[in-house]
Structure 1
Amino acid sequence: MKACLMKLCRLLCFVLTLPLCLMEIVGLYGMYKRLFPLLAYNVTFSYNDKMHNTKRELFRNVGKFANTDGTLRLLEIGCGSGANFKFYPYGCTVICTDPNPHFEKYLQMSMDANTHLTYDKFAVASGEDMEHFEDESVDVVVCTLVLCSVCNVLLVLQEVRRILRPGGAFFFLEHVVSDPSTWTYFFQNVLEPLWYYLGDGCTVTRATWKDLEAAGFSELHLRHIEAPEVSLVIRPHITGYSIK
């Protein structure tokens, strides 16, 4: 009964998104991509407040993956407005990528506010194709709230492994699908069609931990957590790091 209700409600939600779908087909949805960085920048402050302890715990070991000469090159995929910068260790060099070029203005504001870091460049690139970066050229790769919206998670992870040096680490924090027995799972499936457009391609029903398990890293340190006080549909998270 619950499954039938979920399918019916999802169908109704999908019908409501048809105007947005039409806008995407005719090219008008691109206007929202210009607005999305502003919305994401403002949401960042609230999310960081709620997830401060989680992020601080996640990134506290980033420094131990510095190169033998003491330098640390960190590449962030889908950096957005630079929400993670304040958690990175003093002196590390940060390289930023995002497929949306309209984030650059907000990214610069975060750079100006976090002068303890050195910034290399901002590359407009998708996680699936980071040809700008050479094999084994960085010590750490970071990806937070990004794997939900890429087209091919395994291809992104393949690129991560390519550009990481041997012994380098991939740090992640992602919202994931809930257990099928929960009401969170119900609402994730019902609201996913609408959430996809409001979140600029965000998918809330991915079991991303399975992709990480299949990605071929030598070590995987992963925890499932419930994010405090965030929207119900993105409350289940995974956090941790993998070592090449």
Structure 2
Amino acid sequence: MKCCLMKVCRLLCFVLTLPLHLMDVTGLYGIYKRVFPLLAYNITFSYNDKMHKTKRELFRNLGKFANTDGSLRLLEIGCGSGANFKFYPYGCTVICTDPNPHFEKYLRMSMDANAHLTYGEFVVASGEDMAAVEDESVDVVVCTLVLCSVRNTLRVLREVRRVLRPGGAFYFLEHVVSDPSTWTYFFQYVLEPLWYYLGDGCVITRATWKDLEAAGFSELHLRHIEAPEVTLMIRPHIMGYSVK
């Protein structure tokens, strides 16, 4: 009964998103891509407050992947408005990539507010194709709340392995699909068509940990956690890091 109700509700939600789908097909959805960075910038403050301890814990050992001279070169995929900058160690060099060029205005604001870091270029590129970043050129890659919206997760992870030096690390914090027996999963499944457009391509039913397990890293340190203070649909998270 619950399964049938879930499918009917999803169909209704899909019907409601048809105008958004039409906007996407006709190119009008591009207007939203200009607005989305402002929304994301404002949401960042709320999410960081709720996940502050989690992010502190996630990034606490970034320094162990520094070079022998103490330098740390970090690449952030889907950097958005720079929500993670304040968690990075003093003096590290940060290279930013994002497929949406309209984030740059808010990114510069975060850079100005985090003068303890050195910043490289802002590269407009998708995670699946970071040709502008050289092979084995960074010590750490960071990706938070990004793998939910990429088109091909495994391809992104291949790019991560390409740009990481041997022994470098990939840090991640991502919301994932809930257990199918939960009400969280019910709402994730039902609202996914609408969430996709409101979240600029965000898919809330991905089992991202399976892609990380299949990505070929030499080590994988992964934890499943619940983020009870955030929106129900994105409460299940995974966090951790992989070593090349």
Deviations 1:140-199 (CA, angstroms, capped at 9, x unpaired): 000000000000000000000000000000000000000000000000000000000000
Runs of 4+ in 1 over 4 A off after TM superposition: none
Aligned partners of 1:148 and 1:202 also within 8 Å: yes
The one-letter amino acid paired with 1:215 is A
1: CA distance, partners of 2:96 / 2:48: 19
Q: Residue 237 of structure 2 aligns with which residue? A: 237
Q: CA deviation at 1:139?
A: 0.0
Unpaired segments of 5 or more residues in structure 1?
none
The one-letter amino acid paired with 1:186 is F
The one-letter amino acid paired with 1:53 is K
Deviations 1:62-116 (CA, angstroms, capped at 9, x unpaired): 1110012211000000000000000000000000000000000000000000000
Q: Residue 168 of structure 1 aligns with which residue? A: 168
Instruction: Normalising by structure 1, report the TM-score.
Output: 1.00
Q: Residue 221 of structure 1 aligns with which residue? A: 221
2: CA distance, partners of 1:78 / 1:86: 16
1: CA distance, partners of 2:4 / 2:117: 52
Say how many residue pairs are matched: 244
Q: Residue 8 of structure 1 aligns with which residue? A: 8
Aligned partners of 1:51 and 1:228 also within 8 Å: no
Instruction: Normalising by structure 2, report the TM-score.
Output: 1.00
Q: Residue 150 of structure 1 aligns with which residue? A: 150
CA RMSD across the alignment:
0.4
The one-letter amino acid paired with 1:161 is R
Q: CA deviation at 1:232?
A: 0.4
The one-letter amino acid paired with 2:225 is I
1: CA distance, partners of 2:202 / 2:67: 34
What percent of counterpart residues are identical? 86
1: CA distance, partners of 2:7 / 2:198: 20
Q: Residue 109 of structure 1 aligns with which residue? A: 109
1: CA distance, partners of 2:50 / 2:180: 25
The one-letter amino acid paired with 1:174 is E
SS at match of 2:167: strand
Q: Residue 87 of structure 2 aligns with which residue? A: 87
Q: CA deviation at 1:228?
A: 2.6
Q: Residue 141 of structure 1 aligns with which residue? A: 141
The one-letter amino acid paired with 2:14 is F
